[in-house]
């Protein structure tokens, strides 16, 4: 197992679960996405469009996504550095096509974090998102993505309105290390 993919709509608990995973075992570490666009968010490495173009040309981008008027990408070198340091990369992804691209290169534990639409809206407003309408549109798109593309992709599924991030992290860490031990 290479790492953990957390997939789900906005406000489903990906960040809270990532923090909790780090508390369960400090080897779990977020892969900071590259971001071109607004400077909102603490989980990103902000780059210029020119820098992203250079990384793309060098073949370093594993995944690129366009959402909320921004470009997001995952740099292969970020994952390589984490794994070389003995850490377990955690990637947040927003569509199943990108998950499938990522898991082509190595096996990952893929976790679905889900929350009802009204909880997504409530959490988005509570955290002060100025674009809650866009977040709800992304929730709708995620639901359609799951209904259209979900076969046996997810190793674990959690309803984050029914379980705490700590409970989810404990179960996810256990599943990851169990699968890692059984993978030749």
pLDDT exceeds cutoff 80 at 150: no
CA distance 8 to 172: 15
According to CATH, the topology of domain 4-31+86-182 is: Rossmann fold (3.40.50)
What would the two tokens of residue 180 be?
């890692």
Bridging pattern class, strands 33-36 and 70-75: antiparallel
pLDDT category at 152 given cuts 50, 70, 90 is confident
What are the sequence ranges of the domains in the chain? 4-31+86-182
Kindly report, residue by residue over 85-108, the tens digit of the pLDDT: 999 999 999 889 999 999 998 899
62-92 pLDDT, tens per residue?
999 887 788 999 999 999 999 999 999 999 9
Predicted TM-score (pTM) of this structure: 0.91
């Amino acid at each position: 197992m290479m790492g953990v993919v957390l997939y789900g709509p906005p406000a489903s608990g990906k960040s809270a679960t990532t923090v909790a995973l780090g508390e369960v075992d400090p080897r779990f570490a977020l892969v900071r996405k590259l971001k071109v666009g607004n400077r909102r968010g603490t989980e990103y490495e902000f780059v210029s469009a020119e820098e992203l173009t250079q990384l793309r040309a060098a073949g370093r981008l594993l995944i690129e996504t366009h959402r909320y008027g921004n470009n997001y990408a995952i740099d292969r070198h970020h994952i390589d550095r984490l794994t070389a340091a003995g850490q377990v990369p955690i990637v947040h992804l927003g569509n199943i096509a990108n998950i499938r691209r990522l898991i082509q290169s190595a096996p990952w534990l893929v976790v679905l974090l889900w929350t009802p639409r009204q909880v997504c809206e409530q959490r988005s407003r509570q955290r002060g998102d100025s674009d809650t309408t866009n977040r709800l549109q992304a929730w709708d798109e995620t639901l359609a993505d799951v209904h259209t593309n979900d076969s046996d992709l997810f190793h674990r599924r959690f309803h984050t309105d029914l379980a705490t991030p700590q409970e989810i992290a404990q179960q996810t860490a256990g599943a990851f290390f169990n699968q890692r031990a059984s993978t030749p």
